[in-house]
């Protein structure tokens, strides 16, 4: 008996159907600089129209970690794509760059066109919110590597910044003010610990949590800070930025600090979101460990000169993001002094 690719576990027709389902989602993210349609061997993006004296491309890549396991279990696949975009574009933003385009990669045991389209729907939504174009991707059907219902997701973003406007944090100095922007929830880090707490505490993703369920609360997609921060950068000098991902404030804030400084952050009056209180209580987790693992309600941190702090506050009165004044920069050794 002869065999073919489909009998070996790879359905090319399902791949073609997936492309048909996602092409309009992809198209909505395109601007005049995208030179190729879906289906080519590579995506082309024209940077010639940008008015930069010395343009530098800034790249970032990431996935969504084990959050994808909850999405798969609950069959809620249309938001995890925004998580993937956010994890990449928020990182690119930290260097002062405007994200230009994004590519995604989905590995799966079996291509189910409707499920793949749901994942790409989230990617497309994330790109739209970040103001970048989805110019390509790959859906790989790999039986034997993945089980039939399994999938994983990763992405890659490229941004642009003028060389003399790259933000590295090197201009941060003592007396600067630290601000934070609230997260939308757990975002895309710490889910191995979250899942362990759910398992050991006897919780169910279907458990009621406020006006939703625990599973739905955990799957709220990662917030994208690109548009608000790029707009702020036109109003004031932002000296440093950090995306609060794995390792929380303790690990990420020092990444933007010069070696002779430290961050002094006071969160005694900050109301920790309920989702983190639940994880902490049900998992019997020490508060310091929580801050060492999760964003704890603060998804993005940036530093400005003290003279610009009122401008920052005024700006965010009319923005989508919720601003928190965190503290100041002091003399130290690239660390975080956190009071909570």
Same domain, 98 and 137: yes
Same domain, 16 and 149: yes
Burial class (CB in 10 A: 0-12, 13-18, 19+), 202: exposed
Domain-located, residue 6: no
Same domain, 225 and 325: yes
Same domain, 119 and 194: no
Q: What is the CATH classification number for the domain harbouring 323?
A: 3.90.650.10
Specify the number of domains making up the chain.
2
Phi-psi region of 34 (alpha: psi -120 to 50; beta: other; left: phi over 0): beta
Residues 78-93: tens digit of each pLDDT: 999 999 999 999 999 9
Q: The sheet that has 55-63: what strands, in order across it? A: 55-63, 151-162, 98-108, 133-141
Domain of 320? Answer: 177-339
Same domain, 271 and 122: no
CB atoms within 10 A of CB 47: 13
Residues 280-329: tens digit of each pLDDT: 999 999 999 999 999 999 999 999 999 999 999 999 998 889 999 999 99
**Full-model pTM:** 0.94
Domain-located, residue 4: no
Q: What is the mean pLDDT of residues 143-147?
A: 93
The per-residue pLDDT for 10 is: 67
Residues 256-286: tens digit of each pLDDT: 999 999 999 999 999 999 999 999 999 999 9
């Amino acid at each position: 008996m002869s065999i073919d690719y489909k009998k070996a576990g790879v359905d090319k027709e399902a791949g073609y159907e997936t492309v048909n389902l996602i092409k309009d989602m992809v198209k909505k993210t395109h601007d005049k600089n995208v030179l190729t349609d879906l289906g080519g061997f590579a995506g082309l993006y024209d940077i010639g129209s940008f008015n930069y004296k010395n343009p530098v491309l800034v790249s970032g890549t990431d996935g969504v970690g084990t959050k994808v396991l909850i999405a798969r279990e609950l069959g809620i696949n249309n938001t995890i794509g925004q998580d993937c975009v956010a994890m990449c574009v928020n990182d690119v933003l930290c260097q002062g760059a405007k994200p230009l385009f994004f590519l995604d990669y989905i590995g799966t045991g079996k291509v189910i066109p409707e499920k793949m389209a749901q994942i790409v729907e989230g990617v497309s939504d994330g790109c739209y919110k970040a103001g970048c174009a989805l110019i390509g991707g790959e859906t790989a059907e790999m039986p034997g590597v993945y089980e039939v219902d399994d999938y994983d997701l990763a992405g890659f973003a490229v941004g642009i910044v003028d060389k003399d406007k790259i933000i590295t944090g090197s201009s941060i100095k003592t007396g600067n003010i630290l601000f934070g922007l609230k997260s939308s929830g757990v975002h895309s880090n710490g889910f191995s610990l979250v899942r362990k707490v759910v398992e050991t505490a006897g919780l169910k993703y279907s458990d009621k949590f406020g006006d939703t369920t625990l599973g739905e609360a955990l799957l709220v997609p990662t917030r994208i800070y690109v548009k608000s921060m790029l707009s702020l950068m036109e109003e004031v000098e932002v000296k440093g930025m950090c995306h609060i991902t794995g390792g929380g404030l303790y690990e990420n804030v020092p990444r933007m600090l010069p070696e002779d400084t430290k961050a002094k952050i006071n969160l005694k009056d900050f109301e920790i979101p309920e989702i983190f209180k639940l994880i902490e209580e049900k998992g019997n987790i020490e508060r310091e460990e929580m801050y060492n693992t999760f964003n704890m309600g603060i998804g993005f941190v940036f530093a400005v000169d003290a003279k610009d702090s009122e401008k920052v506050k005024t700006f965010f009165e009319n923005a989508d993001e919720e601003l928190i004044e965190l503290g100041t920069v002091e003399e130290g050794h690239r660390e975080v002094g956190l009071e909570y």
